[in-house]
Amino acid sequence: MNKHILIVPGDGIGQEVTAVGKKVLDKIATKFGHTFTYDEALIGHVAIEATGDPLPAETLQKMRNSDAVLFGAVGHPKYDNDPSAKVRPEQGLLKMRKELGLYANLRPIKLFDELLSASSIKPEILKGADILFFRELTGDIYFGEKGRKNNGDTAFDVAEYSRYEVERIGRKAFEAARTRKKKLCSVDKANVLETSRLWREVIQKLALEYPDVEVEYQFVDATAMLLIKDPCRFDVVVTANLFGDILTDEASQIAGSMGMLASASIGDGTGVYEPIHGSAHDITGKGLANPLASILSAALLLDISFGLKAESDAVINAVDQVLKAGYRTRDIADKQTPADKILGTEAMGEAVLKFL
């Protein structure tokens, strides 16, 4: 198979972890006889520094012309405490999602057994947890009208959803549930929000087309509690953009660390694959970042964009083997981990390559 992959490292540890993800893709190409070609492009703070634009037109064009994008992270601390900044790294990410029509964000939360003790949740509660989140990614309060009024003393962000937007993400979630335990949980705040009432109405109607899938409806606040109390009760979860953002950071603790979680953003065109963690400037350049989320993002890319299931499984299996052999990055190590098993970013990448 011949494929062209765009590497978009972005900011902070994005650079270090995508470099490792790319090596894994390269290894897969050699091992399975594929030809992957690569290009790189800028986004986020590094793009602002180079061009003044967090998503340069050239980057967007390259994305459209690629078969898939391996993405790092965006963000820079200098903007976090500066609410007045007009140009921000995150704008690049949001514009990319909108321009590429990436309306479905898949975030699989699966705990590797070896990491049971890395989580702050009790192992007996966690064991067997396996959740697939479908977060809607191009609507909601993220993309509605926003602004100030009353001389800047009042601010507003409008949350908006159309029937069409809810239906297409809902359908993806129902289809996925069919291939899993056939359970879908739709999360909203329909006791308060009109957008949530439309959301629920659309999902209820869709449910009639999927009688084999058992559907439950939960409010977002209750879901936040249930994820920690009983994560094993969930199979597929579908929710709106903002709720999905918050719930998946919470759910990352079920997988032991943010450093383990990969995501796929898919929709009308090129798919984008990225860790759910951010740019982590506190550890940038130190070689400490966990590259496993980027490696697992590469696995999602192989499976979803290229249909290469065996190749994808080989990557996941190699990660499993590395963990079974006791290797850890700092974020997933515990008191029992011997010092010589705690690896940096590159060494962890090499360990995965060796098992591949």
Contact set with ligand IPM (CB under 6 A): 75, 90, 93, 245, 276
Of 26, 67, 249, 320, the catalytic one is 249
Question: Which token pair is 341?
Answer: 């098993």
Whether residue 78 lies in the annotated active site: no
90 scored as a contact of Mg ion (CB under 5 A): no
Q: Kindly tell me which of 91 and 119 has the beta carbon lying closer to ligand IPM.
A: 91
Q: Cβ of 183: how many Cβ atoms within 10 Å? A: 15
CB of 297 to ligand IPM, least distance (A): 12
Residue 90 binds which entry of ligand IPM, Mg ion, none, CB below 5-8 Å type-dependent: ligand IPM
The residues that bridge with 149 in the sheet, in sequence order, are 154
Asked if 277 and 6 touch (Cβ cutoff 8 Å), the reply is no
Residue 93 binds which entry of Mg ion, ligand IPM, none, CB below 5-8 Å type-dependent: ligand IPM
Whether residue 320 lies in the annotated active site: no
Whether residue 221 lies in the annotated active site: yes
Largest CA distance in the chain: 63
Closest alpha carbon to 142 in 252, 221, 244, 45 = 244
Q: Kindly tell me which of 240 and 332 has the beta carbon lying closer to ligand IPM.
A: 240
CA distances from 69 to 9, 282, 294, 318 (A): 10, 26, 12, 22
For residue 238, the SS3 value is strand
Mention every residue, 6+ apart, whose C-beta is less than 8 A from residue 102.
96, 137, 138, 265, 266, 267, 271, 272
Q: Kindly tell me which of 93 and 315 has the beta carbon lying closer to ligand IPM.
A: 93
Whether residue 189 lies in the annotated active site: yes
Of 103, 142, 273, 327, the catalytic one is 142
**Spatial separation of the C-alpha atoms in residues 49 and 244, rounded to whole Å:** 30
Question: Which token pair is 290?
Answer: 């966990």
CB of 19 to ligand IPM, least distance (A): 20
Q: Kindly tell me which of 126 and 276 has the beta carbon lying closer to ligand IPM.
A: 276
CB of 151 to ligand IPM, least distance (A): 28
Q: Which of 245, 320, 346, 350 binds Mg ion (CB under 5 A)?
A: 245
Asked if 209 and 171 touch (Cβ cutoff 8 Å), the reply is no
Q: Kindly tell me which of 171 and 277 has the beta carbon lying closer to Mg ion.
A: 277
Whether residue 249 lies in the annotated active site: yes
The residue whose Cβ lies closest to ligand IPM is 90
Enumerate binding residues for Mg ion (CB under 5 A). 245
